[in-house]
Structure 1
Amino acid sequence: PLVDLSAGWDLSRLYALGHKLQQGESRGEPTAAEVPGPTRRTLDDFAGYAELKAHLRMLLDVFMEANRGGDLLINKLPIASGILLYGPSGVGKSFLIECLRGSVAVPVIEARCETLFSKYLGDSELRLRQVFARARNSAPCILVFDNIDAIGAPRSLSASENSVQTRLLSTLLNELDGVGDRQRPSMGTPAEETLGETSPTREVLVVATVRSPELLDAALLRPGRLGARLQLDVPTSEEREEILRSAFAGMKLGSGIDLSDVGTHPALDGAVGAELAALAKDAAMRSLRRQARADADESNLTGASHGAPPHLEIGIDDIRAAMNSLGS
């Protein structure tokens, strides 16, 4: 032949690569899904939002019990096809996912949407299919997509019908339509079982987060996909108090400080969980600096060095200063 195609090529390696691609494996780049390490956090550690947590627990309990072949009542309840947690940035969606991980007895796989995108044609869709394949192999499990709008934006915002974004969305919709579906034997009467009645269940529960459902393609929100929607809104004054108590837990507060008064202060209207946690840290740092300066001044006057770290007690002035600097 004019060209020896085998020259300089390891044909066995080429064959192995082709086999991997046929089996749905991508090009050896970082995986788009991971199983996070264990956490001690549970839903009880997520302050506030009692009604939302109760609804989420109910959805998780039905999913878990159904996959254990639970009692008759549970087996007759509809199982959520997917859960969408939505709310503005900073309300704690990612932290809620961490608390969810510590509250269930099945694996939780987190999909990293940013690693799904590839420069190779078709590889992005392949990686997304890999994520769902891994979830099915680990079933029963929970599959999490944090900030799912990265791959689920409305098709009208895509550059073209053949754009990576559009192809990823189509793949996502197809996978959601069949994720973890199986048929379980009916828990009804022997006559019903004789008729071969079965009731559907899901071995993979998809949980996704987004700032607003409006950032997603309408097809994702149809029943059978991300059908259960739970809103984490800006916390109320009562919820702010709960979040502040959690944020200040383990810190010594000065006498006369009432966190219920702090939670209802007008300066905190509209503050979200991340801002309240930052306020607690800021107040603690201000107290530390203030008392360190006081100890240094005392050492200069007496000529003696304490050697021990300053005693940390957060005062009302520390909290007020932290509130004033919030958002600045």
Structure 2
Amino acid sequence: MQFCHVISNIHAFFVKGGNPGYTEGKLKHVFTKVQQLAPCILLLRNIEVLCRDKDGTEDSRAISAFINEVERLFQETSTLPVLLVATCNSKNESTSAVPPALARVFLHVVYMQSPNKLQRTAILQWLLRKCNVTVGADLSHVADQTSGFLYADLAVLVFHTVRYRFKHLKESCHDEQNCVDVTLRKADFEEALDTMHAAYSEAIDAPKIPKVSWDDVGGLSDVKKEIMRTIMLPLQHPELLAAGLQRSGILLYGPPGTGKTLLAKAVATEFNLNFLSVKGPELLNMYVGQSEENVREVFNKARAASPCVIFFDELDSLAPNRGKSGDSGGVMDRVVSQLLSEIDGLQKSSQLFVIGATNRSDLIDRALLRPGRFDKLLYVGVPEDKESQLSIMVALTRRFHLKSDVDLKGVVSLLPDKLTGADLYSLCSHAWLIAVRTQIHAFKHGGNSVPSPVEVGMVDFREAINSLPSVKKEDYAHIQQIRDKL
């Protein structure tokens, strides 16, 4: 069928008015114009705006007026075809913002999902061909870095990439006539991705790939191996999941400051996965049903950004034992039930992983710890020997500029036992601050200029050890009892 006209700029906000009479009048005007232009295509954008009034309740009068105009249009233009296309913003396929009475007008409903890796690669190729530039980078690798990106996001990414390419050419080439190499390189894409993540990820709390490597995590070698075995298998052999192998969630528990959150971020970085961190109190809301909706939204975000790691920090605050929370409305019980339902639904995908962290695993609802959910419990404890402490010290100081007299083994030999990773981090941070104060003091008293970067010496570490905090013995003993029970 050959259409003569296309009307593609009819927005529901243009039709919707402050009162039902205005909306009815605008609908009659639009459909009268369509009847005069038939055969044509009518594209009505954001049709869900017509369905609600200012208070957010269903506007039955506007819906009825729209249905009547559609019926009249197709009765009067039976020989001249009109194709009606509408768009609607919906969080997922199962929850539509369009009421059933209005949805029945349309013969076909197409849910536009987030593109997968192959689709993102094809979209990038098409967008780059439109820009008439050559590509010197692996687009499949770029597609790996853009999990959760939609078409509009990929278009912005291409724009930033081309902009950075011309910016670099202008800076490096003095003769503009010879600056003809517009090949997009890997560094251009990485710079554009950094720009987009900085602009979007923090603002909308979207999943993103953290920059924490295994080198930043000292010690915990046994826990690292177990995590890698659990996550690497579904990624490398997804066919095993189709054969019936069920993936399990991972619960990291232990004293505070032992590196549970750092481990989860390192997992996402090493396996090139998006990372969505969730704090329990962020999901709770005073309105009935909104807390459960927030839990569903977290998993919807993760599915859109697959492959992704969902990290629940302080899981005991989000999923306490049901029946013991004490809230009058039973909010926490419903949140736990919703969380159980969503985790069970993850078995359909081999690209989503759930990691939880807690200091009080005894407070978590026991249903979460059954097989198929958080059934892999990994204890992240205090380093028990000097070798583990030395490994953590090496990881913490690998970006430091140490003086020649610094011997990390000597520093570790001066440390007490039962120090957590947070304690050792405090030690290194305090030593660096002491070095900064010392050099600034020397500069004020007629010394040379303050060197950059700051160098940390053995004297600084010795002074920092004197004010070193530690986990209380009774707290450590309580966590050990919980570990024995689990």
Instruction: Place the TM-score, normalised by the shorter chain, in its bin.
Output: 0.7 to 0.9
| CA deviation after TM superposition for structure 1 residue 158, in Å | 0.9
Alignment-derived partner of residue 53 in structure 2: 14
* Equivalence for 1:248: 397
**2:222 aligned partner:** 51
State the 1:256 CA deviation: 4.4
Deviation at 1:46, TM superposition (A): 1.3
Q: Which structure 1 residue ranges, 5 or more long, are not aligned?
A: 26-30, 183-200, 300-304
**TM-score using structure 2 length:** 0.53
Tell me the distance in 2 between the aligned counterparts of 1:110 and 1:310: 35
| Aligned ranges 1:178-189 → 2 under 5 Å | 178-179=345-346, 181-182=347-348
Q: What is the letter of the counterpart of residue 95 of structure 2?
A: Q
1:61 shift after superposition: 0.5
Distance 1:293 1:38, change over 3 A: same
> Partners in 2 of 1:296 and 1:140 — Cα distance?
53
Q: Distance in 1 between matches of 2:453 and 2:215?
A: 30
| Aligned equivalent of 1:224 | 372
Task: Quickly say closer, same or farther: Cα 1:130–1:75, change in 2 above 3 A.
Answer: closer
Residue matched to 2:360: 212
Alignment of 1:30-41 (within 5 A): 34-41=205-212
Unaligned runs of 5+ in 2: 1-18, 24-48, 59-89, 98-201, 471-486
Question: Helix, strand or coil for the counterpart of 1:109?
Answer: strand
State whether structure 2 residue 383 is matched by structure 1 residue 235.
yes
**Structure 2 CA distance for aligned equivalents of residues 137 and 251 of structure 1:** 38
1:97 alignment partner, one of 236, 249, 264: 264
Q: Distance in 2 between matches of 1:264 and 1:88?
A: 23
Return the structure number with greater helix share.
2
Residue 23 (structure 1) aligned with residue 95 (structure 2)? yes
The structure having more radius of gyration, on CA atoms, is 2
| SS, match of residue 142 in structure 1 | strand
Q: Distance in 2 between matches of 1:97 and 1:250?
A: 21
* Conserved? CA contact 2:251–2:355, under 8 Å: yes
Bigger shift: 103-112 or 6-15? 6-15
What is the CA–CA distance in structure 2 between the aligned matches of 1:294 and 1:165, rounded to whole Å? 57
**1:61 is aligned to 2:232:** yes
Question: Residue 291 of structure 2 aligns to a residue in which SS?
Answer: helix
Alignment check: 8 A CA contact 1:110 1:143 kept: yes
CA 78–47 in structure 1, closer or farther in 2 if over 3 Å, else same: farther
Matched AA of 1:325: S
User: In the TM superposition, what whole-angstrom CA distance separates every residue of 1:82-111 from its partner, at most 9, and x where no partner exists?
Assistant: 111112211111222221221123433333
* Secondary structure of the corresponding residue to residue 14 of structure 1: coil
Going from structure 1 to structure 2, the CA distance change for 1:311 and 1:61 (only over 3 Å counts) comes to closer
Give the superposed CA RMSD. Answer: 3.5
Letter aligned with residue 267 of structure 2: L
Q: Give 1:254 deviation, angstroms.
A: 4.0
| Aligned-pair CA distance for 1:157 | 2.9
Say whether the 8 Å CA contact 1:291–1:311 is kept in structure 2.
no
Query: Percentage identity across aligned positions?
Result: 29
- Report the residue type matching 1:246 in the other structure: A
Tell me, yes or no, if structure 1 residue 259 matches structure 2 residue 408: yes
Equivalent in the alignment of 1:86: 253
Secondary structure in 2 matching 1:230: strand
Amino acid at match of 2:411: V
Instruction: Spell out the pairing of 1:189-208 with structure 2 (5 A cutoff).
Output: 202-208=350-356
C-alpha change, 1:126 and 1:319, in structure 2 (3 Å) is same
Q: How many Å apart are 1:128 and its aligned residue? A: 0.9
CA 1:113/1:160 → structure 2, altered by over 3 Å: closer, same or farther?
closer
Specify the code of the residue in structure 2 equivalent to 1:175: E
Counterpart of 1:316, as a letter, is M
Deviation at 1:35, TM superposition (A): 3.2
Letter in 2 for 1:144: F
Cα shift readout 1:107-150 (whole Å, capped 9, x = no counterpart): 33333432211111111111112222333344443222122222
> Residue 418 of structure 2: which of 251, 261, 270 is its match?
270
Per-residue deviation at 1:169? 0.8
The residue that corresponds to 1:284 in the other structure is 432
CA contact (8 A) 2:253 2:380 kept: yes
Alignment of 1:314 onto 2:456:
yes
Cα separation, partners in 2 of 1:154 and 1:11, compared to 1, 3 Å: same
- What is the aligned residue count? 289
